[in-house]
Amino acid sequence: MRIYVNTFRNFINNNAGINTNGRKNNEIKLRGFHSFTINNFINLVQRKVYKPPIPKQIPVNSMYFGIKRSDEFQWMQNPKNHDVLKYIKAENEYTESVMKGTKLLQQRLTYELKKKLITQGTGTMAPIKIYADEYEYYTILTEHGLKYCRNKKGFPSTEMVLLDSKWLRETNKHIRSLLISPDHRKLAYLLEQEGEETGVLHFKNLNENSIIYDEKLKKIFNFVWGSNSKIIYYTITDEQLRPYKVYAHHIGSSPQDDILIYEEKDKSSFVDITVTKDKSFITLNSNGFSTSEVRLFDAYHDFSKGFPELKLIEPRSIGLEYYVDHHDEFLYILTNADNARNFKLVRASLEKCDKKNWETIFTVKDSEKIEDIDIFRKFAVLFAKREGLPIILCYNFVSQDMHQIELPTKFCVVSPETNIDYDTDIVRFTCDSPFAHPSTYEYNMETRRLRSVRSNPINNFDPALYTCYRTYANALDGAKIPITLLHKKSLTLDNKNPLLIRSYGTYGVSIEPDFQLEHFSLLERGWIIALAHVRGGSELGSTWYDQGRLMNKKNSITDLISVIDYLIRTGYSNPSLVASIGVSAGGLLLGAAFNMRPGRGIFFKYSKLL
């Protein structure tokens, strides 16, 4: 169950400026290993004044909500328009001209970043296996793509290739998702054309290791297996690509005989399908911007006995969100009911499952937020945030005891792994931190022991020389704005350090202290990386989000300005050495901040607004 709230520009990759002198690849040396600052870069790109291409303006008038709007650049929406292609070519030529003096730097950075992608150790790493009943499932990365495999537990010689994606290389298609049937005898996989939102669902008989070519379902958005392994439940979309209908397909039958299970007629909502962790129920989840409505039916339902009974948990109402799983005759529900803005865990019996019968199991503080839950036979695992940093809580169904899992590092991003096995005491998760490749861990909920499954240090990088910590800036209204800082431990606060600020502050999305490849070349050159957790994100819970959206959006912008002022005032940097990155809606944040304070001399070096 998940609550839904996944770079630098590619550098020119050629060999000019690299002197091998007959050496092997691992002995390549680069010319000009000198310190490179912002001022060096500015001097390179500003030696000559270049005129950027200016797109033509063709006004197109339209009316929205009674307001007339003129769009001078609507013509650019058509990628096949000759003038659009001509303009894109001009943009690329302009970029090449401006960046011409940085070719050596680009080659050097490309070399450095590629080296950082190499994991320590020799040979190919063994795949991480997912355990389900008597099988071990895993993927193998080859030069041609992924191979999906399995073998019987403890018998690697029984390896069977379930699906090999190498045949997709030239087709512009990819495998969006695949699921093994509960009896492990069939495979369903959704094949999607690049750029499409729906795909074609194919089936494979694993007993005979053969694809069932004459049976496929088209324009599928999502799917799950029924627990009897005889039925596939799937969703399709309307013309706006909104998933709105759920069908049941009996394996071996014609798609024309598929049964409509549910239709979501509210065009502001979409419907999704999931199966409870214990495989007892199929859930139909109707979700809107701030509403939820969940129905359950028997995952083992036999359609020869009629249509399944759809059990409604709680009718939708504005502002109420909830997500349901099942354990031992009880429904366990994550919800924001009763003003629990950061969500709480409740439970209810199957017979009396409406909101008035919800029993609270666990709540969080204002600066905390529950993001996900995973259910096992003996335990429930809650993935949450506290002060914007991850925590994992483990709830024992028998003793009703709750304990916190000690993470390997404080500043990181934690994500649940694929934990298919319901009857296990082991939960697996990944830990993504600023100074290491994403690593995988297993935690024994019974013995309370953490074990590293795979840890990937950065090649040719000593994390002991660097630090990551949290500080705070004062907002204009007195709120404390968290800032996560990365830099060398030997840093001197003399206002002479180049500073890169990353921020977003939109849609309740938090900016995370995760692995960012492009950071390492900067950190090694003495840069400071600052993550500004401004309002509009959810780092400090839903209230933090609310204080930076709609009529409070200005807080996001002034928070960013306050962060920059604080870092300059306290000696981290100075206005001539400050750069900032804003991706997508983060570009709006930077543009607005720059317009509010144009005279501050703050450089917004890279703002990409998609």
Question: How confident is the model over 422-453, as pLDDT tens digits?
Answer: 999 999 999 999 998 889 999 999 999 999 98
Q: Is 384 exposed, middle or buried (0-12, 13-18, 19+ CB in 10 A)?
A: buried
**137's tokens:** 């499932």
Residue 172's pLDDT band (cuts 50, 70, 90)? confident
**572's tokens:** 């981290």
Output the pLDDT for position 489.
95
In this predicted structure, the answer to whether residue 4 has a pLDDT above a threshold of 70 is: no
Output the pLDDT for position 296.
96
Complete domains list, the chain, with CATH: 18-113 (no CATH), 463-608 (3.40.50.1820)
The model's pLDDT over 512-523, given as tens digits with 9 standing for 90+, comes to 999 998 899 999
Q: Is the distance from CB of 499 to CB of 527 less than 8 angstroms?
A: yes
Q: Where are the beta strands (DSSP E) in 207-340?
A: 210-220, 222-225, 231-237, 243-250, 259-263, 270-275, 281-287, 292-298, 311-312, 322-327, 330-335
Q: Is the distance from CB of 448 to CB of 456 less than 8 angstroms?
A: no
What are the C-alpha distances in Å from 402 to residues 325, 361, 380, 395, 450?
Answer: 19, 10, 9, 4, 17
Share of the chain above pLDDT 70, in %: 89
Question: How far is it, in rounded angstroms, from Cα 21 to Cα 379?
Answer: 61
Residue 213's pLDDT band (cuts 50, 70, 90)? low
Query: Angle CA(501)–CA(504)–CA(505) in degrees, nearest 5?
Result: 125
Output the pLDDT for position 35.
47
In this predicted structure, the answer to whether residue 31 has a pLDDT above a threshold of 70 is: no
Question: How far is it, in rounded angstroms, from Cα 398 to Cα 240?
Answer: 46
Count other Cβ atoms within 10 Å, centred on residue 31: 11
The model's pLDDT over 220-229, given as tens digits with 9 standing for 90+, comes to 999 999 999 9
Q: In the chain, what is the straight-line distance between the N-terminal and C-terminal CA atoms, in Å?
A: 30
**447's tokens:** 């013995």
Mean pLDDT of 562-573: 94
Output the pLDDT for position 30.
32
Output the pLDDT for position 610.
29
Residue predicted with more confidence, 570 or 608: 570
Question: How far is it, in rounded angstroms, from Cα 194 to Cα 362?
Answer: 42
DSSP letters for 47-75: SS--PPP------EEEEETTEEEEETTGG
**603's tokens:** 């450089």
DSSP letters for 128-161: PPEEETTEEEEEEEETTEEEEEEEETTEEEEEEE
The residue among 512, 513, 504, 485 whose CA lies nearest residue 572 is 485
Output the pLDDT for position 78.
86
Residue type, 494: D
Query: Which range has the top average pLDDT, 174-178, 560-564, 590-594?
Result: 560-564
Residue 124's pLDDT band (cuts 50, 70, 90)? low
Output the pLDDT for position 387.
87
Residue predicted with more confidence, 605 or 456: 456
Q: Is the distance from CB of 277 to CB of 422 less than 8 angstroms?
A: yes
In this predicted structure, the answer to whether residue 186 has a pLDDT above a threshold of 50 is: yes
Output the pLDDT for position 271.
96
Token pair 């703002």 in the structure block, residue: 607
In this predicted structure, the answer to whether residue 497 has a pLDDT above a threshold of 50 is: yes
The residue among 540, 535, 486 whose CA lies nearest residue 515 is 486
Radius of gyration of the chain (CA): 27
Residue type, 42: I
Output the pLDDT for position 17.
30
Helices 554-569 and 585-596: crossing angle in degrees, nearest 10, is 70
Strand bridging mode 389-396 / 281-287: unpaired
Over the chain, what is the mean pLDDT? 86
Output the pLDDT for position 8.
26
Residue predicted with more confidence, 31 or 469: 469
In this predicted structure, the answer to whether residue 406 has a pLDDT above a threshold of 80 is: yes
Q: Does the pTM of the predicted model rise above 0.85?
A: no
Cα atoms in the 13 Å half-sphere on the side-chain side of 585: 15
Question: How far is it, in rounded angstroms, from Cα 588 to Cα 600?
Answer: 18
Output the pLDDT for position 130.
86
